[in-house]
Amino acid sequence: MKQTAPIRRFKILCLCLTLALALGAAGWFAWQAARDPVDRIMEKMTLRDKLAQMMYFSPRTWKEDPTAETGENIIALNDAQRQYITEHRFGGILLFGENFADAEQSLRLVAELRNATLESGAPAPFIATDQEGGLVTRVNFGTAGVGNMALAATGEPACVRDMAKVYGEELQLLGLNVDFAPVMDVNDNPANPIIGVRSFGDVAESVGRYGVAYMEGLKSTNTIACVKHFPGHGNTDTDSHTGLPLVDRSHDELAANELVPFKAAIDAGVDMVMTAHIQYPQVETQTRISVDSGEEIHLPATMSRTILTDILRGELGYEGVIVSDALDMKAVWSNFTQDDILSLCINAGVNMLLLPSNAGFDVWTLSDELLDRAVELTESGVIDRERVDDSVRRILTLKKKYGLLEQKSAPLTDAMVSAAVEGCGSEAHRRLAWDIAGKTLTLLRNENNAFPLNVQAGEQTLILFSAATRAGAGELSRKLLTDAGVLPDGAEIESMVIEPGTAEACEKAAKEADHVLIVSRAWAVDCLDPKTENGFPVGVINRVIDDLHRRGKTAVVISAQLPYDAACYPEADAILLSYCSSVMKDMPNASGTGSAWVPNLPAAISAAFGMGEPTGRLPVKLPALDRDFRLLSDILYSGQAA
């Protein structure tokens, strides 16, 4: 039947509309595909999703019984824990030593955490730990490394880069993508109770140079570096874990010192910066009344808009993600209400909050409460919603940079398990750490050819340790020396620990030994004063030194941690600095491997027997002590860091 003109026009119109809709739909999908994935994700996020994205959750321990004093270490997720992670959609997860038992277990736990988050439809989380190296090493079966001050003593940024690359490679093998390192604090206060050998030294430019090299090592493995603790924790005399420190320096003084390494990191493209819970009253003048003491306190840097937004963002030009230090540290938790902690941090410019992780808390319930409260505070206008959106955009932009927005699942293969088991703490990595440890050793003094010990066949050497926790390094060193063929035939090494109950026996044994090697470990200024409990060994060591001299023998002292104890032993013939040591009450195992051990002290003991030649340079100034063993402004040894 012949169609009328109106019908033909109607069909043509329908066809045109169909084509237009099809083209429009195709264009819409093309437009959507071309849009920044950050925009697409943010459009779908609820306010709760956004605030959860701004939080690092720490699944450290678990209490089946909420009333129990302690919980079990989380090394695998149970159903309740997995559901919690899925429901909360946290933007970051922070792991501690309790979470790391061995390589396969750790890899599986990280995969479980990532998959539990991805199952919710949320972006893959940052999964972080503090693998600084040396004293702060969470992956306790991997390569511990030598620590930052020791790395600076090599005088070689390449050593720093290589050591950090090892940390990054091992974290990547376990599935982690963020390292809360390096420490960029300038340790210009020898009495600092928390930074010390975690710092590269007391010269700001050197700290920046070595810190950037560390960042480069991590970056080469696609691991995100988070420098800390802005604007600087090096000049404090209080540990922010236990109190609220104060640094009474002006903006100009900070700019000339503390801020220098952070500016170097920013210029080098650092992705994350961690804040410090420290008062800077000359910079941040706002105050609050402490809920604990009732005293007036200044807002710490973590809560200071002046420090985080005006200085870090404005003056230094930082565009990355700002992370708070742990919110359960007493500097914050004991002085502010939970509402103030949340609102002041976020409004000041913190993008990600490190939620409480202390085993003394029920972190699961508390984290839930903090997230709920953050939502309420934002809905009521106490927390600035624009700050929330800005933070989430920065977080997602960083995740996009590292490919986390593309992850939809985290399959675990046998090859990945094998790589983790073989690569974490591998012989190659430990050998590198050992070689670098040899370059860190600094021979501060050597009179009367005291160093190295001239041990002959059949002679006995006594190693006196000032700390029982380090005495295992003696047996490990004896084995290393024996395996290397360094010890003469019949030469014996005996170790003893100086304690109040053993002091007399130690002094007697020192009189009978052919050689005495003394290992001094100071971890705080209290250890320098023989009148204190921690400093008790200093008096014994000096009596041993005097007796050796009376008998025509020389005295060699190894400083096993803070180098400032060198001033305690003015009569020692030789002093060797190792800058770091790890807990080693016994040998790791028969082969000297197994759990991670810091190689500095075994390398120093070995060098004292002629195995290696110290070439390190002093990265800090060592002050003299007065008659009461208090630090003076006079410098006994000048630093040589480059």
Asked if 339 is an active-site residue, the reply is: no
Contact predicate 322/294, CB 8 Å = no
Question: Counting Cβ atoms within 10 Å, is residue 446 exposed (0-12), middle (13-18) or buried (19+)?
Answer: middle
Q: Is the peptide bond before 229 cis (omega within 30 degrees of 0)?
A: yes
Half-sphere exposure of residue 206: CA atoms within 13 angstroms, side-chain side: 25
Name the catalytic one among 102, 237, 239, 241.
241
Catalytic-residue membership of 325: yes
To the nearest 5 percent, what fractions of the chain are helix, strand and coil? Answer: 45, 15, 40
Q: How far apart are the first and last CA of the chain?
A: 96
Q: Which of 174, 167, 173 is nearest to 134 (CA)?
A: 167
Measured distance CA(590)–CA(265) in Å, rounded:
42
Q: Which of 325, 328, 362, 529 is catalytic?
A: 325
What CA–CA distance (Å, rounded) separates 452 from 609?
6
> Residues, the chain, total?
642
Radius of gyration of the chain (CA): 28
Instruction: Provide CB contacts within 8 A for 40, sequence distance 6+.
Output: 32
Measured between alpha carbons, how far is 568 from 564 in angstroms, rounded to an integer?
Answer: 8
Quote the distance between the C-alpha of residue 1 and its chain's center: 85
Judge whether 454 and 628 are in contact, CB under 8 Å.
no
- Written as one letter, the residue type at 472 is G
Rounded Cα distance between 399 and 122, Å, is 12
H helices, E strands: number in the chain: 21, 22
Ramachandran class of 134: left when φ > 0, alpha when ψ lies in -120 to 50, beta otherwise: left
Q: Alpha carbon 335 to chain centroid distance?
A: 24
Q: Which residues are part of the catalytic machinery? A: 241, 325
